[in-house]
Amino acid sequence: MKKMSIIIIISAIVFIILCINLFIKFHPTFGGKPDKFNRTRIESSPHYKDGKFLNMEPTQMMTGESMGKVLKKFIAGVKDDKPQEPIESIIFNKEAFLKKNSGITYTWFGHSTVLFNINSKIIITDPVFSKAASPVPIFNKAFDFVNNYNVDVLPDIDVVLITHDHYDHLDYRTIQHIDSKTKKFIVPLGVNAHLLRWGISKDKIEVVDWYEFIEIDSTLKFISTPARHFSGRGTRDRDKTQWCSWVIQSGEQSIFFGGDSGYGKHFKEIGNKYGPFALTCIECGQYNENWSQIHAMPEQSVDAHIDLKGDLFLPIHWSKFKLSIHPWKEPIERAKSASEAKGVKIELPVIGELREI
């Protein structure tokens, strides 16, 4: 009887593992295989070696405590790691947004999703409008806003700009819904494999390596620049696609959009090469001392802004998902305090608000 029970338990474990692997292999949310579409170009990249993409400087995923201890803390949570009430937000005024036909207007939709109107060109960064940043909706649920948003509130879009393939930056359902109103997707090396699997036309996708660029109508340039991070959507695709930050140039004005990145020498290099920037959008949330080499601490985000020679600093990557072990509002409090201490002009928009530069 005991032997039979052990066999049943082992069989159940094997069955569960098999189901998980089949789910990862066949469910489209996990995306495509980069080497199926990009093998030659990926392998010729100077930032790719031994089957994976590399950072500019040595980078560890975890430092300090063991993964087991960190996971235990993550499960236990901390006080106020989620808002108790819906977060303040404003109804997005699409008509007013589109009326701005010169200069830079933007609206932040929480986390890393920013909608720009730059001299009448409409760009959106890392759009995520799903209820969860996860292939399984019960995990990493989005916070509630007073006014919630979806793709339907957006205008037609000239460019969807993606920094990397993590779920809180590249969302399967959002990409499918936004496709019909989008002219072009610009992505780092390998990320086009995900879009192609999701039915996005090859003709609409532009793929670039670090320091390569795409020009739109000779009035708008997108330059892929380094970040200090990693990539992957499944269990076997770590660092198979590239991650990046973006420099957006329009006339004499430039914007830096950082995506995810630990603090590093690349910020000063980008600032020297492409600065100054009218606006920098830099992550300030989902940090922890144990993974500070891949996610900057708020004070380091302010230092990055200074390195970039930025004017206005917009803290992003907070106020939508619980992806770390800190109170949900702590990122902006620390970023604001560090900005004031170093004389940095910080932008503090309400979600959904129109801001002009």
Write out pLDDT tens, residues 9-62.
555 454 444 445 555 555 789 999 987 777 889 999 999 999 999 999 999 998
Q: What contacts 343, CB < 8 A, 6 or more positions away?
A: none
Is residue 104 in a domain? Answer: yes
Task: Tell me how far apart the alpha carbons of residues 308 and 269 are, in angstroms, rounded to a whole number.
Answer: 8
* Pair (15, 155) in one structural domain: no
The pTM assigned to this predicted structure is: 0.93
Is residue 85 in a domain? Answer: no
* Pair (325, 251) in one structural domain: yes
Task: Tell me how far apart the alpha carbons of residues 249 and 59 are, in angstroms, rounded to a whole number.
Answer: 29
356 to 62, 116, 246: CA distances (angstroms)? 39, 10, 20
The pair of three-digit structure tokens given for residue 267, joined into one six-digit string: 């910020």
Q: What's the pLDDT at 1?
A: 56
* Pair (272, 163) in one structural domain: yes
173 near 135, Cβ under 8 Å?
Answer: no
For the stretch 72-113, pLDDT in tens is 888 888 999 999 999 999 999 999 999 988 899 999 999 999
Q: What's the pLDDT at 15?
A: 45
Domain count, the chain: 2
CA 31 to chain centre: 16
Q: What's the pLDDT at 66?
A: 79
Full residue range of the structural domain in which residue 135 is found: 94-356
Q: Residues, the chain, total?
A: 357
Is residue 8 in a domain? Answer: yes
Task: Tell me how far apart the alpha carbons of residues 19 and 267 are, in angstroms, rounded to a whole number.
Answer: 43
334 near 299, Cβ under 8 Å?
Answer: yes
Task: Tell me how far apart the alpha carbons of residues 322 and 28 are, in angstroms, rounded to a whole number.
Answer: 24
Task: Tell me how far apart the alpha carbons of residues 139 and 136 are, in angstroms, rounded to a whole number.
Answer: 6
* Pair (221, 335) in one structural domain: yes
pLDDT of residue 323 exceeding 60: yes
* Pair (16, 161) in one structural domain: no
CATH of the domain at 274: 3.60.15.10
Q: What's the pLDDT at 136?
A: 86
* Pair (169, 269) in one structural domain: yes
The pair of three-digit structure tokens given for residue 291, joined into one six-digit string: 């993974």
* Pair (150, 25) in one structural domain: no
Is residue 315 in a domain? Answer: yes
